[in-house]
Structure 1
Amino acid sequence: MRALRILLIVVVILGGLFVAADRAAVYFAESEAASKIKSSQGLSSEPDVSIKGFPFLTQVLSSSLDEIEISIGGITATTEGREVEVTEVRAELRDVRVNSSFSSATAGSAEGSALISYEDLTKSAPKGATVGYAGPERAAKGQVKVSGPLDELVEGAGIEVPDAFRGLLKENFTTYSTVSLEKGDKVRLRAEDLPKLPVPGVDEKLKEVVDYDLTIDGLPSTITLDQVTAAQDGLRFSGTGKDVDLTS
């Protein structure tokens, strides 16, 4: 009985040492992966890398990792010199195969996601405009609400209005813009139908200002976004990929 007890104690101690060694190896691998991703993808800061699955060491021996989650900061979107933050930039990589020297890796499948909040979208919008959630029906069509005081929008757009008509601009302006994504990094907002404006000739000029593009800068090649959804908290982007090279 005493010998069995001693054996159990030894097993527990060895198991604890194995777990400790396994977790230490994971921490080292995550740190090295973050450094390599930063340099290979040209990121401004190191991403957070989390290697899933246990035990890790057996995954290393088989040169195949079950799942890796990457969270990236420092990604921005710009338009005409205005810069806004892109948040919640994540990549989930599964079935990651590494070569014998660990110099290259390929993910069998990858899912990427990102968010630009309405608050940040407003920072990128024309002067005087606020971008917000358009409600479930219009959001299902990929639309957002663009609104603001008409006189501020016209002034911000640099549109010349005769003094005799300025008093007609004391009202709120509202339109709905359809959002689309091109080439994985360009967000386009295009107004559907502008409301009838009281000043002749202002409609077309204002539409030229309300329609604008945002370019997402600094996305790593491992994240390819191909869908955009108008959610309650902002524009949510997503994308998937197969056999993604993680070192190019």
Structure 2
Amino acid sequence: MRAARITLIVVLVLGAIFVGLDRIAVYVAQNKAASQAQTSEGLTDKPKVGIKGFPFLTQALSGKLHHVTINADGVAAASGGRSVQVEDFHADLYDVKLSNGYSEAKADRATGEAKISYEELTKAAPDGITVSYPGGGATDTVRITGSYLGTHLSVLSKLSVVDPKSGAAPNTIQLHAEGLPKEFTALGLETKLRNQIDFTPELTHLPAGLGLTSVTTGPDGITIKFGGHGVVLAG
């Protein structure tokens, strides 16, 4: 019985040591991955990387991580050479395969979402245009206000994700006015007016294989969802 108790104590101690080493290893791996992501993607702040599942060491040795999460701010969106900031960027990566001495990583599947405030979205708009929430529980429209030819303008604009098969840049959002005031259309100014108020912000710095799937509006800004398969994270 004494030998059995000694064996049990040794096993428990070794288990505790393994757990401690495992947690240290995952902390180091998370921190290194976050630093590399910040450098390679030019982020203003270091993202938070979480490697889920236990134990980490056996996952690393097998070359496959079951679930990795990324939370970041400072991801960029661009439109017409203008850069805006994306808030609350969150991604879930599943079955991340590591190869080439851990210098390459590819996720079998990934999902996530990010937010852009109306203040930031206005920065991506043409000069003189303000983007805001129209109210009324809208989920796919924003209000565009400004002036054109000295006349005040206020129209509803519908948001949608542009199909990359259309030839547009990947990961692009389209804002398209649903209706234009008659005082402009009657003068044949529809095309010129649309060139002023319709625009297409593009979400940049997304890993290869990750694409936008939907965009919705709310009181605090727009929420973009994305997903993909075979998402290249490094290498």
- Which residue in 2 is equivalent to 1:58? 58
- Which residue in 2 is equivalent to 1:184? 170
Percent pairwise identity: 38
- 1:7-32 CA deviation, whole Å, 9 max, x = no partner? 55544433322211011000111122
- 1:74-108 CA deviation, whole Å, 9 max, x = no partner? 22333456542111222211011223732322211
How many equivalent pairs are there? Answer: 226
- Which residue in 1 is equivalent to 2:228? 241
- CA apart distance, 1:222: 5.6
Query: Which of 1 and 2 has higher RCO (CA within 8 Å, sep 6+)?
Result: 1
For residues 105-184 of structure 1, the aligned pairs below 5 Å read: 105-125=105-125, 126-127=127-128, 129-136=130-137, 138-139=138-139, 142-147=140-145, 153-154=146-147, 157=148, 159=149, 161=150, 173-182=153-162, 183-184=169-170
Cα separation, partners in 2 of 1:89 and 1:144, compared to 1, 3 Å: same
For residues 192-203 of structure 1, the aligned pairs below 5 Å read: 192-197=178-183, 201=187
- CA apart distance, 1:55: 1.1
Structure 1 CA distance for aligned equivalents of residues 176 and 85 of structure 2: 21
- Which residue in 1 is equivalent to 2:90? 90
Cα separation, partners in 2 of 1:219 and 1:108, compared to 1, 3 Å: closer
Structure 1 CA distance for aligned equivalents of residues 110 and 181 of structure 2: 43
- TM-score with structure 1 setting the length: 0.74
| Paired residue secondary structure (2:22) | helix
- Give the residue type in structure 1 aligned to 2:118: Y
| Paired residue secondary structure (2:212) | coil
Structure 1 CA distance for aligned equivalents of residues 136 and 180 of structure 2: 18
- Which residue in 1 is equivalent to 2:214? 227
- CA apart distance, 1:117: 1.8
- Which residue in 1 is equivalent to 2:27? 27
Structure 2 stretches of 5 or more lacking a match?
163-168
Cα separation, partners in 2 of 1:215 and 1:239, compared to 1, 3 Å: closer
RMSD after superposition: 3.2
Cα separation, partners in 2 of 1:80 and 1:95, compared to 1, 3 Å: closer
Worse overlay, 235-244 or 3-12: 3-12
- Give the residue type in structure 2 aligned to 1:190: H
Structure 2 CA distance for aligned equivalents of residues 234 and 212 of structure 1: 17
